[in-house]
Amino acid sequence: MPIDQTLPFLPVNIAVLTVSDTRSLAEDRSGDTLVDRLLEAGHRLAQRQILRDDTDAIVARLHAWIEDEAIDCIITTGGTGVTGRDVTPEAVERVADKMIPGFGELFRWLSFQTIGTSTVQSRACACVARGTYIFALPGSTGAVKDGWDGILKDQLDSRHRPCNFVELMPRLLER
């Protein structure tokens, strides 16, 4: 899809949350990959944190970031699988005003090109919560690359045509 170079690029303030019971910041390759890509695209890293797979803790962090006017968008990595400890989609649903089902559908279609039918195990999802976008990606670096390179890089670029998430930001709280 085309980028309209005649339009200004509007950087987005993005918070990155890694959900993992086993990773520290030093071992967070998927979080590093995501941060590198968003900075390379010209966006700003608003905050970054790692939390264990705990629904209440994830919900609390999401609420705090949603209320932070310096954060436009939250991207999580990890916790989207089907095991008992994978609770990120449940946390996202608890804070959501509107789910964005097409995000997960498109993510799985793109991921299928890379990992085949194993993509069915992903519960990647997205929503709008009180004017803030939340995108939940799986925890592998490959999944982060699929999600960023295949969807978010363009949809978070204000110059992307025919439309993008950024141009909708001023209208997310309309009633």
pLDDT tens across 58-87, in order?
999 999 999 999 999 999 999 999 999 999
In which band, very low, low, confident or very high, does the pLDDT at 24 lie, cut at 50, 70 and 90?
A: confident
At 1 the pLDDT is 63
Does the pLDDT of residue 139 top 90, yes or no?
yes
Q: What is the pTM of this model?
A: 0.97
Does the pLDDT of residue 133 top 90, yes or no?
yes
At 49 the pLDDT is 97
User: Mean pLDDT, to the nearest integer, of 43-60?
Assistant: 97
User: Mean pLDDT, to the nearest integer, of 149-165?
Assistant: 97
In eight-state DSSP terms, residue 3 is B
Output helix, strand, coil percentages for the chain, rounded to the nearest 5: 45, 20, 35
Closest CA to 106 of 137, 139, 73: 137
Does the pLDDT of residue 175 top 90, yes or no?
no
Average pLDDT, the chain: 96
E strand spans, 78-117 = 98-99
* CA angle 99–119–156, rounded 5-degree value: 45
Q: Are 132 and 76 in contact (CB under 8 A)?
A: no
E strand spans, the chain = 13-19, 44-51, 73-77, 98-99, 125-129, 132-137
- Give the list of residues 6+ apart from residue 26 with CB closer than 8 angstroms, or none: none
1 vs 124, residue with greater confidence: 124
User: Mean pLDDT, to the nearest integer, of 5-31?
Assistant: 95
